[in-house]
Amino acid sequence: MKKVSFELELYLRNEFPILFQTQSSYYANSYNKPVPTIEAITPFLLSGWHISDLICQSKRNILLKGYEKHTVRLRNEKFRFPNGDYIELIFTNLYDHTRFLKVNFGYFRGICSNNLIFGDSFFESIIKHADDQEQVIEDINVKLSDSINKIGDLIYTMKNYYTDRIKKNYLAKAAMLSVYGSESEFPYIPGHLLISRRVYDNAPDLWTTYNVIQENFIKGGFSYNAKNTGRLMRAREVTNIDKRLKFNCELWNSVVELAITDKFKVHP
């Protein structure tokens, strides 16, 4: 397997040492060797991709230090839209318990620096063992070759699809259910995710609604009254990788379903 240049490897080891972990954590089964993240992303780093973001989930248990779940986003100028948005590759890995490396497509929206994740209705793959890497990488490259046009067409459809209050609440509620399981566990009503942060967030199209809901849930920052006490609370940024992934994927799948099947058959 080819390696990145010495200079790049030195930089990555210094900035993102978790990418190079080759051992399972203390709690993992010894027979299930993890797939180092660096091995999965190296073919892409060698073909014009670069790391745009890395999120590492903190662990209080010192024995799990260096084995945390982490998400790496890769970006390539070849997959840049004229408006400054990018298609991204997202690798999520964990060196403990499951140790399966998951690959998703994502989207970076430059106008609000919003990182989206496309659900499995578009693309999702899992690398369970080192032997799976070549096939998965080939699948990713094949899918990427025609992704620009397909994603562009889908976004165009969303931008021309009208969403009323019923549809907006449906999308927010469906995505929250994927994270919390039932409405009784919701910390706040789904309507809070529909709050506009900017003037152009008030547009009634599906693409804007999708971005508003996703950004509000992930970034938080809005105020709400706690269910039990009525105390005024402030929504926190979601740093848990599983929650971010579940919410993003479920929201994307619901939005695509609405755009393609026109589930509610409602128009202005």
- My answer on whether 79 and 207 are in the same domain is no
Residue 44 lies inside a defined structural domain of this protein: yes
Is the pLDDT confidence value at 202 over 70? yes
Q: What is the DSSP string of 35-94?
A: --HHHHHHHHHTTT-EEEEEEE---S-GGGTT---EEEEEEEEEEE-TTS-EEEEEEEE-
Residue 151 lies inside a defined structural domain of this protein: no
- My answer on whether 17 and 110 are in the same domain is yes
Among residues 145, 177, 209, the one where a domain terminates is 145
Per-residue pLDDT tens for 183-201? 999 999 999 999 988 888 8
Residue 152 lies inside a defined structural domain of this protein: no
The pair of structure tokens assigned to 167 is 């549809």
Number of domains in the chain: 2
Residue 268 lies inside a defined structural domain of this protein: no
Q: What's the one-letter identity of residue 242? A: D
Q: Rounded to whole angstroms, how far apart are CA atoms 214 and 115? A: 9
For residue 25, the model assigns a pLDDT of: 56
For the ranges 122-126, 173-177, 243-247, the lowest mean pLDDT is seen at 122-126
Residue 42 lies inside a defined structural domain of this protein: yes
Residue 36 lies inside a defined structural domain of this protein: yes
Domain that holds residue 63: 6-145
Is the pLDDT confidence value at 9 over 80? yes
**Mean predicted lDDT score pLDDT of the chain:** 80
More confident residue, 98 or 105: 105
40-55: average pLDDT: 88
- My answer on whether 139 and 236 are in the same domain is no
Among residues 88, 121, 145, the one where a domain terminates is 145
47-58: average pLDDT: 85
For residue 213, the model assigns a pLDDT of: 93
Is the pLDDT confidence value at 164 over 80? yes
- The DSSP call for residue 107 is E
Helix axes 133-145, 37-45, angle to 10 degrees: 40
